[in-house]
Amino acid sequence: MLTVTLDKTNAIAVLVPHGALSADDFKHVASVIAPYLSQTAKKLNGIVIHAERFPGWDSFAAFSSHLRFVRGHEKEIARIALSTDMEVARLVTSIAQHFIKAQIRVFSYADFAQAQAWAAGN
């Protein structure tokens, strides 16, 4: 399950995974973000992913849904903040920066508030 919280004041979405990600999780994220994007300037300042450890995907379909979500919304998201203690996050970030337009930055799990502020553009 993936909890999605939309902070309309700062134009950011906070994603908190609770177990392996499913294809339905990404449909849920899109269902929360899409109405906001259609009612505003069609842009989010950022997304914050807050996960002490990355839970992985429950299937290849979930992984594919994740990729489709990223490709479908990459032009609408300015920043992606990863608030995590996973060492591999920095490596994943350096690779992902070659494929998506959003700025990506890694924060420690404890620095969640800083991650939110950066994602909001503050």
pLDDT in tens, 8-48: 999 999 999 898 888 888 888 888 888 888 887 678 899 89
Q: Residue 50's closest CA among 15, 99, 91?
A: 15
Name every residue whose Cβ is closer than 8 Å to that of residue 115 and which is 6 or more positions away in sequence.
48, 50, 81, 82, 83, 105, 107
Residue with tokens 């503050």: 122
Contact between 119 and 112 under an 8 Å Cβ cutoff? The reply is: no
pLDDT band at 107 (very low <50, low <70, confident <90, very high): very high
In the chain, the domains with their CATH numbers are 2-120 (3.30.750.24)
Give the whole-angstrom CA distance, residue 59 versus residue 118: 32
DSSP 19-65: SSB-HHHHHHHHHHHHHHHHHTTS-EEEEEEE-SS---BSSHHHHHH
Q: pLDDT at position 92, please?
A: 65
Residues 60-94: tens digit of each pLDDT: 777 777 667 776 666 778 888 889 887 766 656 65
Here the tokens at position 85 are 């203690």
